[in-house]
Amino acid sequence: MGLLCLTISAGTAFAADDDGAPAKPDVPNIYLDLRTTYATIPAGTLGLGLGNTSLSAAFEALAARRGATLPNGLPAAKSIAVDLPLTVDVSERVSLYGGVSGSTTDIGGGWSALDITSWNIGVQADLYQQNGGRIPTITLQSTLTQSVPNEPGMTNSFNNILEFDYALDEDETRGWLAGLQYTTTTIASPLASIRPNTILYVGGYYQWPSNWKFTGRLGMQSFGGAQLAGRTLAEPFTQPILRLDLDRMDDNDNRLFGITAQIAWMPKPSYQVTLRTPLYAVRN
């Protein structure tokens, strides 16, 4: 809550003109950032990757609750997750979001019922903007995700992404990216533990005059493994990860539609496809 209050104050400060006079207030963008993800998860690992905290939280909680009944470790799985974060763009630099996520999983015996499996709250803020200079835009995104219901085996995940965006033109339609994602998870069980997950990546983007934007990221993911009652649920690994995004933007860089494809080796490949269809209540 303190972080959110600080962010709102920062957003108000960023809205001021250079001479210190308050800028004319605008109604912020308000929208439901609907995201639907289909993923395949290899045996012996969790739902890891770039930015998919809800899918990871659901599978981590499932592993913690059912680990004792899985003598051969975690089976291969397929999962569908639906994220419903209500997002408010406080300013051009700061966005706040929070909502719930639901998922259904097939671990070989058919699909489970689609249930609410986690809630999340977070903030994304530009700590520095390039604005034609030589120092890249620096963006920090922090998300707290908690699985539900609140019972033994519940997980709390804190995901942080620090990204550097160096634009190659004044309109920022093409540029280079570099970033770091660091995720820590705790489990409400003295017998279980999940070690941190770290991703280092580089990439780039290009936006056509038609407002279609392509972004690619290639990196290395390092996971410390997961244990339950002295047994290994997921082995540690360090493997490559590739994410490709295609987005349709409007003239003010609001996202209208997006599709993401991701391949993460764990060490066997895990595939994810995400459809992003924002539902705007207010769009500037």
Going by the DSSP 8-state scheme, the letter that residue 67 receives in this structure is G
**What global pTM score does this model have?**
0.86
Residue with token string 């490709």: 244
From the list 103, 77, 110, 109, the residue with the least C-alpha distance to 270 is 77
pLDDT of 17: 45
φ/ψ (deg, to 5) at 103: -150, 160
Amino acid making up residue 27? V
Task: Return d(Cα 119, Cα 110) in angstroms, integer.
Answer: 25
d(CA 139, CA 141): 7
DSSP state of 100: E
Tens digit of each residue's pLDDT (9 = 90 or more) over 74-131: 778 888 989 999 999 999 899 999 999 998 888 878 888 888 888 999 999 999 999 9
Locate the domains of the chain by residue range.
2-14+31-282
Widest Cα–Cα separation across the chain: 66
**In the CATH hierarchy, which fold is given to the domain comprising 2-14+31-282?**
Porin (2.40.160)
* Model confidence at 3: pLDDT above 60: no
Structural contact between residues 258 and 248, judged by C-beta atoms closer than 8 angstroms: yes
